[in-house]
Amino acid sequence: MLNDQLVISSVAGPFREPREPVLSYDYSIQRATWAAPHAVRVKIALAEELDYVKGTLLGAVTGSPGQQLMLNKLLSRKIGDQKLRIAEGEGWLKDRADVLVPPFTGPLAHHFPQLDAWVQAEQEALRAEIKQTIGLGA
């Protein structure tokens, strides 16, 4: 049997969605059993996901506007990658079809604890990467 593991071939973003308080990333994913890759858009809610993760990791964040921009880009990509892994674990990406992974709010809020558990488990590594890459944090 062929290896049916999900492979991310490219990622574009972040994009600011019009009329929504979210950032999004477009992933191109592939499995060995698929003839061609397909697209997945992952949306990250600014207040409920990105600001929550920033607050959990760094508390009240200060820094230059450039550092803030770099922090948002770094963390939103990490969140997007993790949400893609959660969607894969939930079986959302088994079929070849364009897929949207929306914010884990409202009807999908029951998935947020999985994202929160990842933040808690990876917080030291994330803080170290933020300090090394952006120069923020203790």
Q: Where are the alpha helices (DSSP H) in 1-138?
A: 52-58, 65-89, 112-134
Name the strand (E) or helix (H) holding 24. Answer: strand 22-30
Q: What is the pLDDT of residues 61-84, one digit of tens each?
A: 778 899 999 999 999 999 999 999
Cis bond leading into 18, ω under 30°?
A: no
Higher-pLDDT residue of 117 and 59 is 117
What's the pLDDT band for 1 if we cut at 50, 70, 90? very low
In the three-class reduction of DSSP (H, G, I as helix; E, B as strand; rest coil), residue 33 is classed as coil
What's the pLDDT band for 136 if we cut at 50, 70, 90? confident
